Amino acid sequence: MSAVEPTPGPVTGSVTDSAAEPEWRHLHPLSPLLRGGIAFVAVLAYVVSQQADSIFGARADDPTQGHWGLAALGVVVVLLGIIAGAWVSWRFSRFRVADTLIELRTGVLFRQHRQVRFDRIQAVDLGRPLLARLTGLSEVVVQSAGGKDSHLKLSFLTDAQAQQVREQLMALAGRSDEVAGGALAGAAEDVSGHADRPGTAPVGQRVLAIPNARILQSVLYTGPGLVILLAVPALLVSVALGVPQMVAWLGPMTLAVGSSHLKRLVQECNFELLHQGDRLRIRHGLTDLRTTTVPVHRIQAVEVSQSLPWRLTGWWRISVNVAGAASGDEDTQTVLMPVGNREEALAVLALVNAGIPRGAAVAALEGTGPAEGFTTTSRRARALDPLSWRRQGYAVLSGGLLARRGAWYRAAQFVPHARIQSLKVEQGPVQRRLGVATVRVLSTVGPVSPVVAHLDESEALRLLADQVVRSSRARQRAQVS
């Protein structure tokens, strides 16, 4: 039987005949060129710049010694070779959405066959690098529980196709979680959940839209940002006055600090957070516009933090630990709010963990003392925390453990009881002498590391024993439901 080439059409994982295999689909024909687009443009620009003088009649420093026609022919041959290689690469790159997994096959001489099961999908990202945006294409990144090295990338599809594949995979991943006994939010059955059917692209309710001006200010209103504001003028003055020692010292420091902050600025611009049924959708990026979908039930821990410079503006930042997200995914999955005021922070916190009372949340962000059920450190911890000992502590809520710390750098952390992996009590020699100890709550890998520091030793041991029971009961209830 001769092979039949799949005809263009909507990407769906269903088949009309139960005995038929799901069809294999090709990526977009421009995919190979876009994957190596920067190198391709760089080579082309280099060749053109080298031959510009010859083309316009100048003969000085002509590497072709006047044979620019042959050089142009050689360039055409190379470009045709690149296009032919790109076509072969596209021809052997195929994917399909099967009954229980998504598959991707690539390579001609060295072939790869990657698979991700639906029950292992943690999130599905949609990326639009600059060159892809110019051609109307998008990249689908399927993030699995194995970490960054196990992610599957479909680079590239048309934007409509990518949206459709992303929605289909998230819907199938949700159904796999239900079969496996995962606790999905009840909102999956509301109107937003009905919009998740394959072939649709639900918009969701916008929760946050951070102005780019605030993003820029937030980057500058940090310790390193203030250093840059002082270092750049000093560097310019040093160059103008001809002071090489200052240039040699300030130049590398400004470049190192400035590059990391520029990366953060580029990644966090155009930030939007949308709520869609049982999941959150994060959009951000300046040159590389990325859309990340995070199921709410995969969020393991939440931290709302405020640095000292942000105290003047009342801004907060929200980070989360997401099950299966690797450390390299921090900028796409684990930042729910790069910068926002207190009301915005409380709104996002209530969205992620609806069981936190507003009074307890406000006390966690700004409060001190035992109000709203907080247990704080005693005066014996004053030597270790002279500024924050009245604030440092925890509160046990019906849904999870709420901890707070810091006087200059404030942080409030919430971990659902069922998401706590384990706990441990630490006590150094100074703590042992003072009769205090630190309780660390171990969550999944991520930027949030919940800790309750310098509790009375008896209180720390009581928290450890009681929390083990609470977490065990919460996991049992989650399995039953």
pLDDT score at 108: 79
Residues 441 and 401 sit within 8 Å (Cβ to Cβ): yes
DSSP type of residue 102: E
Instruction: State both tokens at 394.
Output: 């925890």
* DSSP-based three-state secondary structure for 476: helix
What percent of the chain is modeled with pLDDT above 70? 79
**Whose CA is closest to 136, among 161, 153, 168, 167?**
161
DSSP type of residue 190: S
* Domain ranges across the chain: 21-91, 212-268, 296-480
Residues 333 and 292 sit within 8 Å (Cβ to Cβ): yes
Q: Residue 384 — pLDDT band, cuts 50, 70, 90?
A: very high
Q: Residue 53 — pLDDT band, cuts 50, 70, 90?
A: low
Letter for the amino acid at 131?
L
Average pLDDT, the chain: 80
Instruction: State both tokens at 152.
Output: 């599957």
Residues 456 and 337 sit within 8 Å (Cβ to Cβ): no
Statement: residue 49 has pLDDT above 50: yes
pLDDT score at 17: 46
* DSSP-based three-state secondary structure for 94: strand
Statement: residue 190 has pLDDT above 50: no
d(CA 211, CA 346): 18
End-to-end Cα spacing for the chain = 50
Q: Which of 183-187, 246-250, 267-271 has the lowest mean pLDDT?
A: 183-187
Q: What is the pLDDT of residues 287-322, one digit of tens each?
A: 888 888 888 888 999 999 999 999 999 999 999 998
pLDDT score at 104: 92
> Any idea how long the chain is?
481
CA torsion angle for 277, 279, 280, 283 (degrees, to 10)? -100
- Residues 6+ positions from 20 with CB-CB distance below 8 Å: none
Mean pLDDT of 143-159: 79
Q: What is the pLDDT of residues 336-354, one digit of tens each?
A: 999 999 999 999 999 888 7
d(CA 115, CA 96): 10
Q: What is the pLDDT of residues 409-428, one digit of tens each?
A: 999 999 999 999 899 999 99
Q: Residue 434 — pLDDT band, cuts 50, 70, 90?
A: very high
Q: What is the pLDDT of residues 257-266, one digit of tens each?
A: 788 788 888 8
